Amino acid sequence: MQAKPHHLIPTKFPSPIQLPPLYPIPSLQKPKAPRVISISSPDTRTVSIPLTVDDQDNRTSDDSVAAFWDYQFLFVSQRSETAEPVTLRVLDGAIPPDFPSGTYYLTGPGLFTDDHGSTVHPLDGHGYLRAFSIDGVAGEVKFMARYVKTEAQVEEHDPDTDTWRFTHRGPFSVLKGGKKLGNTKVMKNVANTSVLRWGERLLCLWEGGEPYEIESGTLDTMGRFNLMDGCDSLVDAPGKERGDGGDIWDLAAGLLKPILYGVFKMPPKRLLSHYKIDAKRDRLLTVSCNAEDMLLPRSSFTFSEFDSEFNLLQRQEFDIPDHLMIHDWALTDTHYILFANRIKLDVIGSMTAVCGLSPMISALAVNPNKSTTPVYLLPRFPETSIGRNRDWRVPVELPSQKWLLHVGNAFEAEDDSGNLEIQLHAATCSYHWFNFQKMFGYDWQTGKLDPSMMNLKEGKDKLPHLVQVSINFDSDGAVQRCSVEPLNQWIKPADFPTINPSFSGNNNAYVYAATSSGSRQTLPHFPFDTVVKLNVLDKSVSTWSVGARRFIGEPIFVAKGGEEDDGYLLVIEYAVAIQRCYLVILNAKRIGESDALVARLEVPRHLNFPLGFHGFWANNN
């Protein structure tokens, strides 16, 4: 059979009247004028979208239908790969000669729709690794993009015909064109969440299993890389840190293990996709937890620390007597910090999920029955922890309820009297907004994405936003004060906080994040279109925004000099209306000024890619 040419997956477009009922389309109810704009779809068709603005050339229309399609185009699939480096064309500015030579890696989902009628949640999309190699001296950027050849990807993709058939349900999806009832292929390791280059290894990580190692020169997949070897030996270790009620839950875990491991083929341990780098000690830190803990009112977390050659330096396991779902976490010189994102078992959802009638994640729901936020401060080095007598099993209760999404930085400072302050900068959201089954507005029953989930008209304070958490202890470890407040009083929805990595764990001055200008009425909060720079010392705020109907992903800091903001920010710009992606380089010092843009480079249209998740900058030296 002749191989099909590489192309972008056709998106199946509903007519405007089939938009989700939660998303208002007032322009269709009272049209002012029969005008249209045309948007090219990924399979080269043209979609005509009605506009109701007085100026037909106004491409910033707040028309709900155009906004709906813009949102869909942000998650369009990409089947094409490029193993040979492609030199990107510079559209604006120039790459500065002092730009450090290195590679910006960005991972995320690349494929959402197969050739047999199934569409999956973005979190279940196969990992698509993008690499931008930047040479400041030569003034050029070379681009590569490859799928991570996980076991699921190899099973679901036929390279001879370049066709896809989803066989794994994935935690957040159901299949339409594949086996639905009785499908036990749940844990679909897609290696699509974060990327790391540590020592001589390049790894793509996912939330539910081992990372995959990638050859950095070709982006070939080398196979799984075991970062959790030996974790099981801690289960009965004499020095294991335990919470309450270990015996009864050990019994329950013993009953669950044969089902989860044997029937659903879940790995005994799942590695969290977020890692930390301790620049002071030159260490990589990871966290893993037990698969069965997802269904039990207790949580076991194993923290591992590695040197630059992946030699294990230390490992500790903590049992916490609460049902938690942790995505990101924080690190200081002496503590691991966990925000207790509390969850509970959904009995009805569990039954439908096991049968294959709903996503497996339907078995879980958020648990908002506490008005506070428990924060666990786990001793990294027990001999140096706060007040030798402090019981880490007793969390610090923050005075408001927050679901933690991503951490920008955390640090601690001790005065001469032994009093300690721990401060953390992060993105959090409301328990009353966060919903496992509706992240990104995904509707698993229709396979469509509803922008209204991410763009609440009322109560935008429920959406992701930046906060500063401060906890003060006396020399005996007693809590003196704890607070949580908007970071620099920036109340617009925002996420993906980042800093100069050289200042990680230190009292940093600057936090960068993706946020929204709020200029578009029907997409006021997400997707993000603005980079915000917050000076936490003088409380100033400055921003840089992309143009109309353009969005951005996570910003990444590339350090150049010794000053904290002496460097560049890398961010991907998604021009959804024309289906283009751009690599944007910003001067971190000049955010808020007219000359903040250093360079904008165009990714060829046939390699246009969907929204990425997390990236990593690796210097060549």
Question: Has 327 been labeled as part of a binding site?
Answer: yes
Cα–Cα dist 272/210, whole Å: 9
Q: Which residues contact 222 (CB under 8 A, 6 or more apart)?
A: 212, 213, 214, 215
Q: Which residues pair with 196 in a beta bridge?
A: 203
Instruction: Find tokens 């999309």 and name the residue.
Output: 125
SS3 (DSSP) at 130: strand
Give me Rg for the CA atoms of the chain. Answer: 24
Cα–Cα dist 432/430, whole Å: 5
SS3 (DSSP) at 488: helix
Report how far apart, in Å, the C-alpha atoms of 182 and of each of 156, 178, 229, 283, 287 are: 18, 11, 31, 43, 32
Q: Which residues pair with 558 in a beta bridge?
A: 568
Cα–Cα dist 390/369, whole Å: 26
Question: Has 168 been labeled as part of a binding site?
Answer: no
How far is the first Cα of the chain from the last one, in angstroms, to the nearest whole number? Answer: 46
Structural contact between residues 132 and 103, judged by C-beta atoms closer than 8 angstroms: yes
Tokens of 164: 């896809």
Cα–Cα dist 505/488, whole Å: 19
Identify the sign of the CA torsion 171, 177, 179, 180. positive
Cα–Cα dist 513/426, whole Å: 10
Cα–Cα dist 17/205, whole Å: 39
Cα–Cα dist 236/242, whole Å: 11
Cα–Cα dist 373/318, whole Å: 19
Q: Which residues contact 186 (CB under 8 A, 6 or more apart)?
A: 168, 169, 170, 171, 264, 265, 266, 360
Cα–Cα dist 179/153, whole Å: 17
Nearest to 584 by CA among 194, 134, 216: 134
Phi and psi for 71 in degrees, rounded to 5? -65, -40
Element (DSSP H or E) covering residue 153: helix 151-156
Question: Has 406 been labeled as part of a binding site?
Answer: yes
Cα–Cα dist 162/219, whole Å: 19
DSSP output for 351-420: HHHHHTSS-GGGGEEE----SSEEEEEEESSGGGSSTTT--TTS-EEESS--EEEEEEEEEEEE-TTS-E
Tokens of 159: 């390279």
Phi and psi for 203 in degrees, rounded to 5? -125, 140
The length of the chain in residues reads: 621
Identify the sign of the CA torsion 437, 443, 448, 449. negative
Residue ranges at the known binding site: 327, 406, 614
- List residues forming the annotated binding site for Fe cation: 327, 406, 614
